[in-house]
Structure 1
């Protein structure tokens, strides 16, 4: 008897049904990765609510410097004002909605719409609008503001009307930010990787290292995370005992499903590299000046995560940032950032190709993995699969995701 395709009977279940029927310990059902209506709910309940990494202050050192942060249909102008502040505005003219900044980055004294020449100052205040009538008020037509928070030099933005608080994270991890010199870093490089897959598959891939040993040979030669669950636990226990307080080892609760009410989720942990390894590089050797108050390589690296799509790996000599953003229900983008100490000079203190090598090659491999994953999920015969013991972080992500979507359904039913 031939196998019958699952698509013969259309799935008429609601989002609430799908969430209620989810089986812990398994991957999500197909519609979570393919349904454009579910995607629309995600944008509203996740991407218009949570904090996301936009960039770094070193990208806008002078007044008038700006760059764009974009996802889905949204575009945000991040700009340095004349007063030296970092501000963000929606890239939407208040006249008839045209994009104002068309270049990805640049410098300008005013933000001028190319359509009808409405001009705004760097704080978003409307300065000129021709022939608008005596009843028109410029003060009521400034650019829509976007909330900005700085974590050291990292720029986070939230499009929420009332954003979640980052105060708890800043207080809890103040020692981490000081140790690694978050106030004294600069962006050395940034690369974007378009991926033909739903954003959750990209985020989920980052959550687990079950695939690291078979898929990332370069990574597996440096990071102990690629070991089996038992081998990694033993190696980590030995590493933390030997660390003896040189760098903070106290973990923050895994953030996806354990964030406090009204606060943005975050997580911090210190993990070992393989024995003899110093940094994320070819051969595992140090490749840049030590960060912050770090005095020596101690054979480890820190995981720092904030919000649902912003992740950081902090080596002793540089930091790598990852950001996963949707571009449609079928596509997403992975942006990778490399940070070094603020006074480090390229070509003297570090070589850019050497600095970016490991996570460039790893991300290229991940892109192929994630696209293959999406193609399999697209099959009429895809069903949810059992998660392994090495995919516990992914389970946390799925718990958080489903809770967020459930809350969005509840708020919609209440008319919020």
Structure 2
């Protein structure tokens, strides 16, 4: 990036008022967008999927954002490896389908063939001095967090050690290793990715915009009501491992460590799960013995979010396609022993967060339309947008660095 472009972004950051939404340029300037890709999406751990999606050797799926595509594959030795989906010959995409099973990875253009570890094993009609060992697929850092697969495209990714140490008990309790993907839905949103992330991080809009959610989650209540319900809920369940409260997120993360946060919040009106009427929708997760009427919020890195009920878990991620379009991917996970149609019904399992995300898509689209106006000005954030403010503070600091 040129000095002129850097100076421009620096001026944007310096002019940003604390406690206000971002200036228009942060949502529309292509140079800002490219800086975000380089300093956020390429440098942090991103939630790619779950080990249950690739149970057998040769199974793979792709993980895409912006112009990048990553192949996540189960190798012959049973390891999970990640490689850039870019042939080392002339750059063609290798895996054209989003998932599948292959004994090896063959480029459809000129048939260069790679094993599942990314090593080039054959390349037709190449000169005698061609070195196959120097032409393997570009490796991508991959980490398994109790079954959750994360990738990082940086050569020096932030450490996950603090997160693993503090959350190991939570991962074990909910049985992350023993979950399986029940459903995944993608919502294409014609808006800048930050508008989607900011929307997810605040519940100021929940009561007026999400009546279904507001009937289940205490978080939709005014701050004083919610905090009182949260305090009573935590006190009633004091000492239980589900009730850790960890905030190492955004700029609160230790230097060199990936940020994370974990908390548990109460549901309303004797609700037990995120469903119509708050009724159970699947077998209990992990070693959970009974419902406690709560849901856990887990955030890993700046872009990966999980909502954990006692009987199922949701994974949320927001990925950019361009400066003015993003994808919201929602995944529903259940106990690996649960049988669809017998132990859970997909429509019941996915109902609440499908209807909520459909509504959010419309909200975010309209937000972008307003931000596009020549009359848009940053507005003062409410006390119910404090977590959004934390994200914006971290975001500006990250760009500035």
| Aligned match of 1:169 | 163
State the 1:42 CA deviation: 0.4
| Aligned match of 1:103 | 97
Provide the aligned length of Structure 1 versus Structure 2: 397
Partners of 2:244 and 2:357 in 1: how far apart? Answer: 29
Partners of 2:370 and 2:189 in 1: how far apart? Answer: 15
Partners of 1:308 and 1:371 in 2: how far apart? Answer: 22
Partners of 1:162 and 1:329 in 2: how far apart? Answer: 26
Asked if residue 248 in structure 1 is aligned to residue 258 in structure 2, the reply is no
State the 1:13 CA deviation: 7.4
Conserved? CA contact 1:278–1:298, under 8 Å: yes
TM-score, normalised by the number of residues in structure 2 = 0.97
The alignment's C-alpha RMSD in Å is 1.2
Q: Secondary structure at the match of 1:340?
A: strand
Matches within 5 A, 1:4-403: 14-403=8-397
| Aligned match of 1:9 | none
Q: Secondary structure at the match of 1:391?
A: helix
Q: Secondary structure at the match of 1:344?
A: coil
Q: Secondary structure at the match of 2:334?
A: strand
State the 1:52 CA deviation: 0.6
Partners of 2:290 and 2:239 in 1: how far apart? Answer: 13
Conserved? CA contact 2:248–2:254, under 8 Å: no
State the 1:23 CA deviation: 1.1
Q: Name structure 1 gaps, 5 residues minimum.
A: 1-11, 408-416
Conserved? CA contact 1:275–1:299, under 8 Å: no
Q: Which runs of 4+ in 1 moved over 3 A?
A: none
TM-score, normalised by the number of residues in structure 1 = 0.94
Q: Secondary structure at the match of 2:357?
A: helix
For 1:41-79, what per-residue CA distance to the aligned partner results, in whole angstroms no more than 9, with x for missing partners?
000000000001101111111111111100000000010
Partners of 1:211 and 1:320 in 2: how far apart? Answer: 20
State the 1:254 CA deviation: 4.7
> Which deviates more from structure 2 when the two are superposed, residues 37-46 or residues 244-253?
244-253
Partners of 2:73 and 2:242 in 1: how far apart? Answer: 34
For 1:183-202, what per-residue CA distance to the aligned partner results, in whole angstroms no more than 9, with x for missing partners?
11110000000000000000
Q: Secondary structure at the match of 1:14?
A: helix
